[in-house]
Structure 1
Amino acid sequence: MANVEALYKELIAEWAKRPPNTVKCGQLLDQLKVALVKLAFLPTDGNDAQSSKKQLILARSVLEVAVEHSVLSKDLLAFERYMAQLKCYYYDYAKIIGESESKYKLLGLNLLYLLSGNRVSDFHTELELLSVDVIQHNQFIRPILSLEQYIMEGRYNKIFQAKSTVPVEVYSYFMDLLIETVRDEIGACIEKSYDKISAKDAAKRLNLRVPDEIKAFGEKRQWKLEASGDYSFTDRSVKPKELLPSEELAEQVLSYARDLEMIV
């Protein structure tokens, strides 16, 4: 335990630096994970958990740093793993070790991550674990719920504006991913709604202010840029408008049914 505590103090000292040394922090986290497994990293017996309260609190603190470190390192797989472990401490051992000050900050971060990946059913599953009071009033949860409502209502301009008002800095990376997801949705709508659109109008709808940004977006979507400066979609292979896209509608209905079943 003394060795673990020494490593933890070194990790916290390194993490407190701005910006922190992500490589050094990653090395310390790897050492701590191995050391904690030997103690009680994820205890399964209630009596053992009660007798190792100190170890549980330390393990929770390490995981909280690990979650933020994975965001800083842009390692989404690590983020998912650490959050899955951390929720065990937030929900299963809350009565033993109490509530962490970082709990709702990181749960909100996880909700934003799910939203940024358009994983709406998983988003609502996580939301159901929280009380109504927390959902409506918590400073970290409520803004994320508002973002989800903006998406459902198609108020994408509100999402672009929310980028500058994130609750904490660690949310910024997932906000960037969410904005990219939203832009892809808008881009898909533009392709279906217009035969031709000027680069200026497309940039306005996508909330892009630099010419190089709309150019890069158009290239990513494989948009055809004409000499006139307009994007043309007339040569795209689309189904005749008089025919119902039965296959697409069937896939959509099945997707909604799966999402509804997970939520219920």
Structure 2
Amino acid sequence: MANLKALYNDLQKSFNSNDLKKCGTLLSQLKIGLIEAGLLIPQGDPSLDDLIVARDILEIGAIWSIRTRDVPSFDRYFSQLQTFYTDYSSLLPPSKREYPIRSLNLVRLLTQNRIADFHTTLESLPLPADAIADNPYISHPVNLERWLMEGSYSKVWNAREEAPVEEYKFFVDSLMGTIRNEIASCEEAAYENLPLKDATTLLFFNNQSEALTFAKQRGWQVDLSNSTIVFAKKGEENMEIPKEKLITASLAYARELEQIV
């Protein structure tokens, strides 16, 4: 434990200085240390101080994962933290990082369009329903989910700057990527062309250069002389209707009904 706590102190310093590379190295060493000490999944009768250190290491790991844009790593850290947040919640003092991390997990579920899991996770929080609105970390993803269901994408975009923790922006940016593709599909179906300026606004880009890059990815034609985006129209598919098969099937169905009656 002495070596583990020394590495833990180094991790705190690296995390506070945002040295992500060193944090990654220390976290790998510390997870091995937690396994050897029986603290990654607590066993036996560990001391309160050891549990607090283990929880803090995993919480730093969860936030580090988001800062390094490693969502699978965040999933693993969050899963490991559940033991501390549930089984040992009555023994451990509250953690100031618990609800920011819980809320990041909720936003992650939204970005993956796992709406059912979002609601299940929300209902399992150790918070009464009337306290959710008062918790800035939990109310933020709840509002995001409502705005997504309403199609109020501008509110989702504006919420990026109102996020209670910086790490939210990574997930909201990912969410906006999905939203942009949905909006783009609607534009292709509704318009033959759009002014570049309007397309930039509708797609929530900060400048026309970003819109041009997106247009290229979608295969749109850009008329720079007129500052217009021309949407590529897909040819109408000609589908031959199998009339004889449909008639035969309908007659057979009618005969079976007559026999039943």
TM-score range, shorter chain: 0.7 to 0.9
* Separation of aligned partners in 2, 1:221 and 1:135: 40
Q: CA deviation at 1:232?
A: 3.1
> Please, what is the CA RMSD of the aligned residues?
2.0
Pick one of 208, 211, 216 that aligns with 1:214: 211
Matched, 1:65 2:55: no
Give 1:74's aligned amino acid: R
Contact 2:35 2:41 survives alignment (8 Å): no
Cα 1:87–1:238 change in 2 (3 A) is farther
Matched, 1:126 2:124: no
* Separation of aligned partners in 2, 1:166 and 1:39: 37
The residue that corresponds to 1:231 in the other structure is 229
Q: Matches of residues 114-193 of structure 1 in structure 2 within 5 Å?
A: 114-130=109-125, 131=127, 132-193=129-190
Give 1:127's aligned amino acid: L
The residue that corresponds to 1:90 in the other structure is 85
Identity of aligned residues (%): 36
Contact 1:150 1:158 survives alignment (8 Å): yes
Contact 2:31 2:40 survives alignment (8 Å): no
* Separation of aligned partners in 2, 1:238 and 1:61: 58
Cα 1:32–1:198 change in 2 (3 A) is same
* Separation of aligned partners in 2, 1:105 and 1:186: 30
Which fold has the larger relative contact order, with Cα–Cα distance below 8 Å and residues 6 or more apart in sequence? 1
Give 1:155's aligned amino acid: S
* Separation of aligned partners in 1, 2:6 and 2:232: 65
**Residue segments in structure 1 that go unaligned for 5+ positions in a row:** 241-264
Q: Normalising to structure 2: TM-score of the pair?
A: 0.82
Post-superposition Cα deviations, 1:6-43, rounded to whole Å, max 9, x if no partner, equal 110111112111xx211111111111000000112244
**Residue segments in structure 2 that go unaligned for 5+ positions in a row:** 239-261
Contact 1:29 1:66 survives alignment (8 Å): yes
* Separation of aligned partners in 2, 1:199 and 1:85: 47
Pick one of 192, 195, 202 that aligns with 2:199: 202
Equivalences, count: 235
Q: Secondary structure at the match of 2:233?
A: coil
Post-superposition Cα deviations, 1:106-140, rounded to whole Å, max 9, x if no partner, equal 10111112222323222222112123134222110
Q: Which moved more, 1:149-158 or 1:126-135?
A: 126-135
Q: Which moved more, 1:5-14 or 1:223-232?
A: 223-232
Pick one of 16, 20, 23 that aligns with 1:22: 20
Q: Matches of residues 48-59 of structure 1 in structure 2 within 5 Å?
A: 48=44, 50-59=45-54
Contact 2:41 2:80 survives alignment (8 Å): no
* Separation of aligned partners in 1, 2:33 and 2:232: 61
Q: Secondary structure at the match of 2:136?
A: coil
Q: CA deviation at 1:239?
A: 5.9
Q: CA deviation at 1:234?
A: 5.7
